[in-house]
Chain A
């Protein structure tokens, strides 16, 4: 299978990449890891006239915490960079839990975090993680103009984002919290590399034994990533007592909109969502015994 012909450009700076995107007038695609884009091009679901390969741009492969705890993931940070990090789990347990569950090990060496979010596949794992963490995408346009877009606004629909045609997503940002980050990600898949039957991302801010902030994102149980706001709200200002946990699990299952398919019935998937919420929260209590 072969993609349509395209003009290949491999700029060495972000500014050059943006100039190429501007010049292509909406007919260009950005190639980062390519693990979704190249298969789509081979199937001719995507036939860009220009391919702007950003892999030769130095300095975009980072993930790091600022002094204030804000976490930044550069446009060329691969899933495997996150998976193999020895420091990530302490800062971002939800991200660290999801990294080894994205696609398969070979795809993870190429595919990028930011690229996955930009691909905006409603089945994507990172979108749920970003929703749970209230993450943002930094988009850079001509003249160095940057804007920071909350991920809930960034994704406009299946495979669609609000990125302008002359903007490059240069970085994902996860806001700092005053307390301690806790949480996790669980995904049920029939085999490695399959889309999620169901996935749940939970991100909490703990202050002592009290949950100060909570976010829950659901993968694969609706036409888009679901932000389970009521379920998350049920955890705020609690000590993750059994009633609150049960409440959150029930509300997350209720807001799910799964379809019965070859991966399982709608009822089954809802059941999995509730179970995953309970399991992640039980794990949080194990890791943070001071919480309840």
Chain B
């Protein structure tokens, strides 16, 4: 089986002569490059190309939201975009939430409020939550449920996921208040 992507250093075609394109993506604050066949999905560039396996591929049919990443700050299903479309854009994956020493408040919230069971949907949930809180720092419970309605949890742990996001919202508001 031929690979649909080629790690840099670049070449103009993959090993079986299929044309590839150079893409440069700013991922979690760092610019990374790869030569990709146009049909390579963004989810697979992240997982297999850049080894950012926190992005999960669940249904692969645009339903479940497990592969959600932030594309220029907005949540997208990375199984439903081509990697080549990310050229020159900014992508945030779950690996971009925490710093080396500290969990992101959303991650802390999921930990404290038991917002995960098997954990498969969690990265997508957290990135949808981040997009929500970036836009609306003080959401109601309904607004949280609405914002997460494109992310499916097969463990059906929605109750605690919603609590986790509300917990994080409060924490982020507090730290914004004390920091300024």
Contact = CB atoms under 8 A, between A and B. Distances in A.
Contacts of B146: 100, 105
A106 B39 contact: no
Interface residues of B, number: 31
Please tell me the size bucket of the interface on A: 20 to 34
A3 interface: yes
Contacts of B28: none
B150 A39 contact: no
Interface string A92-119: 0000000010011111011000000000
B18 interface: yes
Given A35-B62, A192-B150, A106 B77 contact: yes
Interface in A186-212: 192-193
B38 A109 contact: no
Given A34-B80, A106-B128, A193-B150, A39 B62 contact: yes
B48 interface: no
A107 B62 CA distance: 8
Interface in B74-110: 74-77, 80-82, 84-85
Contact of B60 (A1, A10, A55, A109): A1
Nearest to B146: A105
B75 A106 contact: yes
A34 B60 contact: no
A35 B81 CA distance: 8
Sorted from nearest, which 10 A-B pairs have the closest CB atoms? Answer: A104-B150, A8-B38, A106-B150, A192-B149, A109-B74, A105-B150, A106-B75, A39-B62, A3-B39, A38-B80
Interface of A: 1-8, 10, 34-35, 38-39, 41-43, 51, 53, 55, 80, 100, 103-107, 109-110, 192-193
